[in-house]
Structure 1
Amino acid sequence: MHITNIQPSCPLLFASEPMRSIMDYYAAHVLPVDRLPKGDSHTVIVFPGLGASGSATAMLRTRLRQLNYDVHDWEHGINQLPNGDLDAWITRLSMQLQRLAARDGHAVTLVGWSLGGLYARALLQRYPACVRQIITLGIPYAELHNVGAAPASAEGIDDDAVAAVPAFSIYSKSDGVVAWQGCVPTGLHNHHAIAVDGVSHMGLVYHPEVLSIIAGLLASSATGAVGARATRQS
């Protein structure tokens, strides 16, 4: 069970990440939020990427709140690789998920960027009844089929329940950190890949096209139409 063996992207794309991410950040201000579909006020948890905290996803969370969602940071500060037992770490992360799901009496959407997306998938695998859908940004599928499924907890996983929860992988062929090929799920029921053009890895939490896709997926989940506008692989 490894979460650090992520296939690297092109060195030139990696070198240009800082400049391109700045451009993606400023591009985020181009799309007026009032043009996006409004939500049904359901709860969303946003997980930051490796080495980032909630400040890196603050703009995304603000925009989603403006679209009428109850949006929460993941509550664990800077996202670092867990020290020690990964299964125990996923259990710690699940406390917020289970609390919010119990509070509302409804499942919660998980949005995870980079390493945060791996955690979102692990939570889906462990607690599918608490998860409405997951949306991951720039993270490979090949590395996380078993994260959160340590031997002590594997027997409790309900494969049918996991398969019933829609999962979306938003990726960019211009990602300078993660090779996009690994972000496309193959042979997984109810898992969809959605490509965006010209977006940096860091910019996935800012870019207006990504925000538009996330807004559409969140709104579609309220009508039962989730998955109808995905899969878009290119």
Structure 2
Amino acid sequence: MHITNIQPSSPMLFAFEPVRSMMDFFAGQALPLERLPKGDGHSVIVFPGLGASGGATAMLRTRLQQLDYEVHDWEQGINQLPSGDLDAWITRLAKQLRSLAARDGRTVTLVGWSLGGLYARALLERYPACVRQIITLGTPYAELHHIGAAPVNLSDIDADAVAAVPAFSIYSKSDGVVAWQGCVPTALPNHHAIALDGVSHMGLVHHPEVLSIIAELLASSTKGQLASRPQDVHRDRGPKV
């Protein structure tokens, strides 16, 4: 498997990433949930980033559960990159997605943090009928081409079905791990970029502004409002480091 180098926005941002992520964590804990829209109980799967496990996304999952969604960890432990055949790896991840969709008779939202967002994209390309929307957080689309290789033969992809599923890339221009420019997909159908300032890479799964955006996207998907969202949104969080 070939992985290209992921470059941070700047050495200074990288150096301050631990401190900023801690601040984002505590800020997220203080977010009043009554301000956020409630959901319809549909299933959501959350994929962690490289080197992280479900523990790193536990707060995000708890918040979404409190908003009345059925939220699931990806159930694969620490994300250490797929070993062996990539196609078999994506098929393995798809078991959970297909099982939830079949059980509920409803599509599933996929939330992927960093590398986990590429898994979400790969699952969308293979199983669009099971996916309601994907939401990625600091996912380096330009640096990693679908985790090193196409997960499925391009001739097997139903381009129209994939394009019908909204995908949202939430990224921070103050990301200290992944350069934000790589998080802006330029050639993916129905893909919407949402830019923030002042959020760390680790903080993308904790920051109150990110949690608010995710809650809004999840709630909007139950009302058929996703198509009306602007293609590119920028939310200024104040001065950058």
Please give the range of the TM-score, normalised by the shorter of the 2 chains: over 0.9
Counterpart secondary structure, 2:194: strand
Aligned residues of 1:110 and 1:134 also touching (Cα < 8 A): yes
- Give 1:117's aligned residue: 117
In the aligned structure 2, how far is the partner of 1:78 from the partner of 1:215?
Answer: 25
Counterpart secondary structure, 1:61: helix
Aligned residues of 1:142 and 1:182 also touching (Cα < 8 A): yes
Cα distance change, pair 217–23 in 1 and its aligned pair in 2 (3 A): same
- Give 2:175's aligned residue: 175
Unaligned runs of 5+ in 1: none
Counterpart secondary structure, 1:198: coil
Aligned residues of 1:172 and 1:196 also touching (Cα < 8 A): yes
Counterpart secondary structure, 1:99: helix
In the aligned structure 2, how far is the partner of 1:4 from the partner of 1:78?
Answer: 21
- Give 2:45's aligned residue: 45
* Deviation by residue 1:16-74 (Cα, 9 ceiling, x = unmatched): 11000000000112211111000011110000111111111010001001101010000
2:215 alignment partner AA: A
Counterpart secondary structure, 1:199: coil
In the aligned structure 2, how far is the partner of 1:233 from the partner of 1:20?
Answer: 20
Cα distance change, pair 130–5 in 1 and its aligned pair in 2 (3 A): farther
Q: TM-score, normalised by structure 1?
A: 0.94
Unaligned runs of 5+ in 2: 236-241
1:68 pairs with 2:75: no
In the aligned structure 2, how far is the partner of 1:4 from the partner of 1:76?
Answer: 23
Q: CA deviation at 1:172?
A: 0.2
Q: TM-score, normalised by structure 2?
A: 0.91
1:218 alignment partner AA: L
- Give 2:94's aligned residue: 94
- Give 1:20's aligned residue: 20
Aligned residues of 2:113 and 2:137 also touching (Cα < 8 A): yes
1:51 alignment partner AA: G
Aligned residues of 1:125 and 1:149 also touching (Cα < 8 A): no
Q: CA deviation at 1:2?
A: 4.2
Aligned residues of 1:126 and 1:149 also touching (Cα < 8 A): no
Identity of aligned residues (%): 77
Aligned residues of 1:2 and 1:143 also touching (Cα < 8 A): no
Q: CA deviation at 1:143?
A: 4.0
In the aligned structure 2, how far is the partner of 1:78 from the partner of 1:218?
Answer: 26
In the aligned structure 2, how far is the partner of 1:222 from the partner of 1:33?
Answer: 19
Q: CA deviation at 1:187?
A: 4.1
Q: CA deviation at 1:106?
A: 1.1
Counterpart secondary structure, 2:228: coil
Counterpart secondary structure, 1:134: strand
Give matches, 1:178-193, under 5 Å. 178-193=178-193
- Give 1:232's aligned residue: 233
Cα distance change, pair 142–160 in 1 and its aligned pair in 2 (3 A): same
1:136 pairs with 2:136: yes
Cα distance change, pair 97–206 in 1 and its aligned pair in 2 (3 A): same
- Give 1:194's aligned residue: 194
Counterpart secondary structure, 2:44: strand
